[in-house]
Amino acid sequence: MSDASEVMSAPPMPHFGILKGPNGIRAGWRLLIFVAILVPLFFGVSRSVDALIRRMHVDSSTPLGTVLTLDLLVLPLLIATWIMGRIERRTFADYGLPWRRAFGRRFWQGAAFSLASFTILLVTMRLAGVFSFGAIALHGWDVWKYAAAWAVVLFLGALLEDFLYRGYLLFTLTTGIGFWPAAIVTSLLMGGIHYFNPSGHGLGPVSATMYCLVTVLVLRRTGDLWMPLGIHSAWAWGEVYVYGVPDSGFPANGHLFSASFPGNPLLTGGGFGPEASIFTLVLLAIWGVIFSVWLRGVKYPNPAAVLRQPPPSQNVN
Protein backbone atom coordinates (compact mmCIF):
# COMPACT_ATOMS: atom_id res chain seq x y z
CA MET A 1 0.00 0.00 0.00
CA SER A 2 2.81 2.42 0.86
CA ASP A 3 4.58 1.61 -2.37
CA ALA A 4 1.48 2.47 -4.38
CA SER A 5 0.94 5.75 -2.53
CA GLU A 6 4.58 6.72 -3.09
CA VAL A 7 4.20 6.07 -6.81
CA MET A 8 1.00 8.09 -6.95
CA SER A 9 2.52 11.03 -5.06
CA ALA A 10 5.80 11.10 -7.01
CA PRO A 11 6.22 14.23 -9.13
CA PRO A 12 5.70 13.70 -12.85
CA MET A 13 8.81 13.22 -14.96
CA PRO A 14 9.62 16.30 -17.07
CA HIS A 15 8.56 15.99 -20.67
CA PHE A 16 11.07 17.12 -23.29
CA GLY A 17 10.15 17.57 -26.91
CA ILE A 18 11.05 19.46 -30.05
CA LEU A 19 10.48 22.87 -28.48
CA LYS A 20 11.69 22.33 -24.92
CA GLY A 21 14.69 20.56 -23.42
CA PRO A 22 16.28 20.30 -19.95
CA ASN A 23 17.37 23.97 -20.13
CA GLY A 24 14.01 25.39 -21.24
CA ILE A 25 13.32 26.35 -24.85
CA ARG A 26 15.87 24.56 -26.99
CA ALA A 27 18.92 26.53 -28.10
CA GLY A 28 18.06 26.44 -31.80
CA TRP A 29 14.64 28.00 -31.27
CA ARG A 30 16.07 30.66 -28.95
CA LEU A 31 18.65 31.58 -31.57
CA LEU A 32 15.95 31.86 -34.22
CA ILE A 33 13.94 34.18 -31.98
CA PHE A 34 17.07 36.24 -31.29
CA VAL A 35 17.86 36.57 -34.99
CA ALA A 36 14.23 37.43 -35.78
CA ILE A 37 14.46 40.32 -33.30
CA LEU A 38 17.99 41.43 -34.16
CA VAL A 39 17.86 41.54 -37.97
CA PRO A 40 14.95 44.01 -38.28
CA LEU A 41 16.55 46.22 -35.61
CA PHE A 42 19.88 46.14 -37.46
CA PHE A 43 18.13 46.93 -40.73
CA GLY A 44 16.15 49.83 -39.27
CA VAL A 45 19.20 51.45 -37.66
CA SER A 46 21.29 50.95 -40.80
CA ARG A 47 18.71 52.58 -43.07
CA SER A 48 18.33 55.55 -40.73
CA VAL A 49 22.08 55.99 -40.39
CA ASP A 50 22.68 55.71 -44.15
CA ALA A 51 20.30 58.61 -44.75
CA LEU A 52 22.05 60.64 -42.06
CA ILE A 53 25.50 59.94 -43.52
CA ARG A 54 24.42 61.04 -47.00
CA ARG A 55 22.93 64.23 -45.60
CA MET A 56 26.01 65.07 -43.51
CA HIS A 57 28.59 63.88 -46.09
CA VAL A 58 30.49 62.06 -43.33
CA ASP A 59 33.81 60.33 -44.12
CA SER A 60 33.59 56.74 -42.83
CA SER A 61 37.33 56.73 -42.00
CA THR A 62 36.90 59.39 -39.28
CA PRO A 63 35.78 58.73 -35.68
CA LEU A 64 32.34 60.21 -36.39
CA GLY A 65 31.99 58.16 -39.56
CA THR A 66 32.90 54.97 -37.72
CA VAL A 67 30.34 55.67 -35.00
CA LEU A 68 27.59 56.21 -37.58
CA THR A 69 28.45 53.36 -39.94
CA LEU A 70 29.28 50.69 -37.34
CA ASP A 71 29.14 51.52 -33.67
CA LEU A 72 25.47 52.49 -33.51
CA LEU A 73 24.64 48.86 -34.33
CA VAL A 74 25.56 48.04 -30.74
CA LEU A 75 22.20 49.51 -29.70
CA PRO A 76 19.99 46.95 -31.50
CA LEU A 77 22.34 44.20 -30.30
CA LEU A 78 21.87 45.25 -26.67
CA ILE A 79 18.11 45.64 -27.14
CA ALA A 80 17.72 42.18 -28.70
CA THR A 81 19.82 40.62 -25.94
CA TRP A 82 17.78 42.41 -23.27
CA ILE A 83 14.53 41.10 -24.79
CA MET A 84 15.88 37.54 -24.82
CA GLY A 85 17.03 37.97 -21.23
CA ARG A 86 13.49 38.95 -20.22
CA ILE A 87 12.08 35.92 -22.01
CA GLU A 88 14.62 33.54 -20.45
CA ARG A 89 14.89 35.23 -17.03
CA ARG A 90 18.61 35.81 -17.61
CA THR A 91 20.79 38.90 -17.34
CA PHE A 92 23.58 40.50 -19.35
CA ALA A 93 25.98 39.00 -16.81
CA ASP A 94 24.74 35.51 -17.75
CA TYR A 95 25.63 36.31 -21.37
CA GLY A 96 29.14 37.41 -20.38
CA LEU A 97 28.70 41.15 -19.82
CA PRO A 98 28.27 42.03 -16.13
CA TRP A 99 28.01 45.81 -16.02
CA ARG A 100 29.29 45.97 -12.43
CA ARG A 101 32.70 44.77 -13.65
CA ALA A 102 32.94 47.34 -16.43
CA PHE A 103 36.44 48.77 -16.89
CA GLY A 104 37.77 46.87 -13.90
CA ARG A 105 41.19 45.36 -13.32
CA ARG A 106 40.82 42.63 -15.94
CA PHE A 107 39.87 45.14 -18.64
CA TRP A 108 43.02 47.20 -18.09
CA GLN A 109 45.21 44.11 -17.78
CA GLY A 110 43.94 42.98 -21.17
CA ALA A 111 44.41 46.44 -22.67
CA ALA A 112 47.99 46.80 -21.44
CA PHE A 113 48.90 43.27 -22.51
CA SER A 114 47.38 43.79 -25.96
CA LEU A 115 48.97 47.17 -26.71
CA ALA A 116 52.38 45.96 -25.52
CA SER A 117 52.05 42.80 -27.65
CA PHE A 118 51.07 44.82 -30.71
CA THR A 119 54.02 47.16 -30.25
CA ILE A 120 56.41 44.20 -29.92
CA LEU A 121 54.86 42.73 -33.08
CA LEU A 122 55.56 45.90 -35.06
CA VAL A 123 59.09 46.19 -33.66
CA THR A 124 59.71 42.59 -34.78
CA MET A 125 58.41 43.42 -38.24
CA ARG A 126 60.62 46.51 -38.28
CA LEU A 127 63.68 44.40 -37.42
CA ALA A 128 62.69 42.03 -40.23
CA GLY A 129 62.73 45.00 -42.63
CA VAL A 130 59.04 44.81 -43.59
CA PHE A 131 57.64 47.69 -41.55
CA SER A 132 58.39 51.37 -40.98
CA PHE A 133 56.87 53.47 -38.21
CA GLY A 134 57.14 56.62 -40.33
CA ALA A 135 56.91 60.18 -39.06
CA ILE A 136 54.63 61.65 -36.44
CA ALA A 137 51.49 62.87 -38.20
CA LEU A 138 49.65 64.72 -35.42
CA HIS A 139 50.68 67.70 -33.32
CA GLY A 140 49.29 69.84 -30.54
CA TRP A 141 45.65 69.44 -29.54
CA ASP A 142 45.00 66.94 -32.35
CA VAL A 143 47.14 64.36 -30.53
CA TRP A 144 44.78 64.28 -27.55
CA LYS A 145 41.58 64.88 -29.51
CA TYR A 146 42.05 61.89 -31.79
CA ALA A 147 43.44 59.72 -29.00
CA ALA A 148 40.27 60.19 -26.96
CA ALA A 149 37.88 60.02 -29.92
CA TRP A 150 39.35 56.80 -31.28
CA ALA A 151 39.50 55.23 -27.79
CA VAL A 152 35.74 55.65 -27.38
CA VAL A 153 34.88 54.70 -30.94
CA LEU A 154 37.05 51.59 -30.99
CA PHE A 155 35.78 50.39 -27.63
CA LEU A 156 32.23 50.55 -29.00
CA GLY A 157 33.37 48.65 -32.08
CA ALA A 158 34.98 45.99 -29.90
CA LEU A 159 31.81 45.75 -27.80
CA LEU A 160 29.72 45.26 -30.93
CA GLU A 161 31.92 42.53 -32.38
CA ASP A 162 32.73 40.71 -29.15
CA PHE A 163 29.19 40.71 -27.80
CA LEU A 164 27.74 39.75 -31.18
CA TYR A 165 29.81 36.57 -31.47
CA ARG A 166 30.59 35.83 -27.83
CA GLY A 167 27.54 37.17 -26.05
CA TYR A 168 24.07 35.71 -26.50
CA LEU A 169 25.15 33.64 -29.50
CA LEU A 170 27.98 31.84 -27.70
CA PHE A 171 26.02 31.34 -24.49
CA THR A 172 22.98 29.90 -26.24
CA LEU A 173 25.02 27.61 -28.46
CA THR A 174 26.86 26.44 -25.34
CA THR A 175 23.59 25.35 -23.74
CA GLY A 176 22.86 23.30 -26.84
CA ILE A 177 26.15 21.76 -27.99
CA GLY A 178 28.67 22.50 -25.25
CA PHE A 179 31.22 25.27 -24.75
CA TRP A 180 34.13 24.34 -27.03
CA PRO A 181 31.98 23.24 -29.99
CA ALA A 182 30.11 26.55 -29.62
CA ALA A 183 33.43 28.41 -29.37
CA ILE A 184 34.65 26.81 -32.60
CA VAL A 185 31.41 27.60 -34.45
CA THR A 186 31.37 31.26 -33.39
CA SER A 187 35.09 31.66 -34.09
CA LEU A 188 34.71 30.25 -37.60
CA LEU A 189 31.74 32.54 -38.14
CA MET A 190 33.69 35.60 -37.05
CA GLY A 191 36.68 34.61 -39.15
CA GLY A 192 34.51 33.88 -42.17
CA ILE A 193 32.88 37.32 -42.02
CA HIS A 194 36.34 38.89 -42.24
CA TYR A 195 36.78 37.24 -45.65
CA PHE A 196 34.44 39.93 -47.03
CA ASN A 197 36.52 42.80 -45.61
CA PRO A 198 38.75 44.78 -47.98
CA SER A 199 41.86 42.67 -48.76
CA GLY A 200 40.27 39.84 -46.77
CA HIS A 201 41.29 37.02 -49.12
CA GLY A 202 44.63 36.38 -47.41
CA LEU A 203 45.48 35.34 -43.85
CA GLY A 204 43.10 37.90 -42.30
CA PRO A 205 40.18 35.47 -41.77
CA VAL A 206 42.56 32.85 -40.35
CA SER A 207 43.96 35.39 -37.92
CA ALA A 208 40.46 36.54 -36.92
CA THR A 209 39.45 32.93 -36.22
CA MET A 210 42.55 32.31 -34.12
CA TYR A 211 42.02 35.58 -32.26
CA CYS A 212 38.44 34.61 -31.45
CA LEU A 213 39.50 31.19 -30.15
CA VAL A 214 42.21 32.69 -27.95
CA THR A 215 39.94 35.33 -26.46
CA VAL A 216 37.19 32.75 -25.95
CA LEU A 217 39.74 30.97 -23.74
CA VAL A 218 40.12 34.24 -21.82
CA LEU A 219 36.34 34.44 -21.43
CA ARG A 220 36.30 30.83 -20.22
CA ARG A 221 38.95 31.51 -17.58
CA THR A 222 37.84 34.97 -16.36
CA GLY A 223 34.07 34.48 -16.52
CA ASP A 224 33.14 37.52 -18.60
CA LEU A 225 34.01 39.59 -21.68
CA TRP A 226 35.75 42.51 -19.98
CA MET A 227 39.30 41.26 -20.42
CA PRO A 228 38.66 40.31 -24.06
CA LEU A 229 37.16 43.78 -24.56
CA GLY A 230 40.31 45.36 -23.16
CA ILE A 231 42.42 43.21 -25.48
CA HIS A 232 40.32 43.99 -28.53
CA SER A 233 39.86 47.73 -28.05
CA ALA A 234 43.54 48.35 -27.18
CA TRP A 235 44.74 46.35 -30.20
CA ALA A 236 42.42 48.33 -32.48
CA TRP A 237 43.48 51.61 -30.84
CA GLY A 238 47.12 50.72 -31.48
CA GLU A 239 46.34 49.96 -35.12
CA VAL A 240 44.08 52.89 -35.93
CA TYR A 241 45.35 55.71 -33.75
CA VAL A 242 48.87 55.06 -32.47
CA TYR A 243 50.58 53.50 -35.50
CA GLY A 244 48.15 54.30 -38.31
CA VAL A 245 47.87 50.86 -39.93
CA PRO A 246 44.74 49.29 -41.49
CA ASP A 247 42.36 47.65 -39.04
CA SER A 248 40.99 44.46 -40.65
CA GLY A 249 41.29 46.09 -44.07
CA PHE A 250 39.90 49.49 -43.09
CA PRO A 251 42.28 52.51 -43.02
CA ALA A 252 41.45 55.53 -40.89
CA ASN A 253 42.29 59.19 -40.55
CA GLY A 254 43.64 60.85 -37.42
CA HIS A 255 46.60 58.66 -36.44
CA LEU A 256 49.74 59.52 -34.50
CA PHE A 257 52.27 57.82 -36.81
CA SER A 258 52.19 57.31 -40.56
CA ALA A 259 53.37 53.73 -40.89
CA SER A 260 54.21 51.86 -44.11
CA PHE A 261 54.79 48.22 -45.10
CA PRO A 262 57.64 47.85 -47.59
CA GLY A 263 57.56 44.06 -47.70
CA ASN A 264 55.88 40.82 -48.72
CA PRO A 265 52.13 40.84 -47.88
CA LEU A 266 52.50 37.45 -46.17
CA LEU A 267 54.85 39.13 -43.71
CA THR A 268 53.18 42.54 -43.51
CA GLY A 269 49.52 41.66 -43.92
CA GLY A 270 49.21 43.90 -46.97
CA GLY A 271 46.06 45.99 -47.26
CA PHE A 272 44.35 44.04 -44.48
CA GLY A 273 46.92 45.27 -41.96
CA PRO A 274 49.27 43.45 -39.57
CA GLU A 275 46.47 41.09 -38.49
CA ALA A 276 46.97 39.18 -41.76
CA SER A 277 50.71 38.76 -41.19
CA ILE A 278 52.37 35.43 -40.44
CA PHE A 279 53.96 37.22 -37.48
CA THR A 280 50.49 37.77 -36.00
CA LEU A 281 49.59 34.08 -36.31
CA VAL A 282 52.73 33.24 -34.35
CA LEU A 283 51.86 35.90 -31.78
CA LEU A 284 48.35 34.52 -31.32
CA ALA A 285 49.74 31.04 -30.75
CA ILE A 286 52.01 32.51 -28.06
CA TRP A 287 49.00 34.28 -26.57
CA GLY A 288 47.21 30.96 -26.27
CA VAL A 289 50.07 29.50 -24.25
CA ILE A 290 50.38 32.61 -22.05
CA PHE A 291 46.67 32.77 -21.25
CA SER A 292 46.54 29.03 -20.54
CA VAL A 293 49.26 29.46 -17.93
CA TRP A 294 48.26 32.89 -16.62
CA LEU A 295 44.50 32.38 -16.18
CA ARG A 296 43.30 29.39 -14.18
CA GLY A 297 39.99 27.68 -13.57
CA VAL A 298 36.71 27.55 -15.49
CA LYS A 299 34.33 30.44 -14.78
CA TYR A 300 32.16 30.56 -17.89
CA PRO A 301 29.36 29.78 -18.37
CA ASN A 302 27.76 30.13 -14.97
CA PRO A 303 26.08 26.75 -14.29
CA ALA A 304 23.18 28.46 -12.54
CA ALA A 305 22.57 30.61 -15.61
CA VAL A 306 22.60 27.58 -17.91
CA LEU A 307 19.97 25.79 -15.83
CA ARG A 308 17.76 28.84 -15.33
CA GLN A 309 14.39 28.42 -17.01
CA PRO A 310 11.38 30.63 -17.68
CA PRO A 311 8.47 30.13 -15.24
CA PRO A 312 6.12 27.31 -16.24
CA SER A 313 2.88 28.36 -17.91
CA GLN A 314 0.84 26.11 -15.61
CA ASN A 315 1.22 25.09 -12.00
CA VAL A 316 1.21 21.40 -11.17
CA ASN A 317 -1.22 20.72 -8.31
134 Rama sector, left if φ>0, alpha if ψ -120 to 50, beta otherwise? left
* CB atoms near residue 102 (< 10 Å): 11
Tell me the residue type at 238: G
Q: Higher model confidence: residue 22 or residue 37?
A: 37
Which residues, 6+ apart, have CB-to-CB distance to 131 below 8 Å? 122, 125, 259, 260, 261, 262, 263, 268, 274
Given a cut of 50, whether residue 232 has pLDDT beyond it is: yes
Give the model's pLDDT for residue 314: 42
Separation CA 247–CA 234 (nearest Å): 12
DSSP string, the chain: -HHHHHHHHSPPPP---SSEETTEE-HHHHHHHHHHHHHHHHHHHHHHHHHHHHHHT--TTSHHHHHHHTGGGHHHHHHHHHHHHHHHT--TTTTT--GGGTT-HHHHHHHHHHHHHHHHHHHHHHHTTS-B---B---THHHHHHHHHHHHHHHHHHHHHHHHHHTHHHHHHHHHH-HHHHHHHHHHHHHHHGGGSTTTTSSHHHHHHHHHHHHHHHHHHHSSSHHHHHHHHHHHHIIIIII---BTTB--S--SB--B--S-HHHH-GGG-GGGSHHHHHHHHHHHHHHHHHS-S---S-HHHHH--PPPSS---
Three-class secondary structure of residue 247 per DSSP: strand
What's the confidence (pLDDT) of residue 290?
97
How sure is the predictor about 85, in pLDDT bands with cuts at 50, 70 and 90? very high
| Residue 162 CA from chain centroid, whole number | 1
| pLDDT tens-place string over residues 257-290 | 999 888 889 999 999 999 999 999 999 999 999 9
Quick one: average pLDDT of 159-185? 96
Kindly report, residue by residue over 32-58, the tens digit of the pLDDT.
Answer: 999 999 999 999 998 888 888 788 877
CA of 297: how far to CAs of 148, 219, 221, 289, in Å? 35, 11, 6, 15
- Average pLDDT over the chain, rounded to an integer: 89
Predicted confidence at residue 315, as pLDDT, reads 40
The percent of residues in the chain predicted with pLDDT above 90, rounded, is 72
Domain ranges of the chain: 21-307
As a residue count, the chain comes to 317
Write down the pLDDT at residue 21. 63
pTM (two decimals): 0.89
Q: Are the C-beta atoms of residues 255 and 143 closer than 8 Å to each other?
A: no
Average pLDDT over residues 204-222: 97
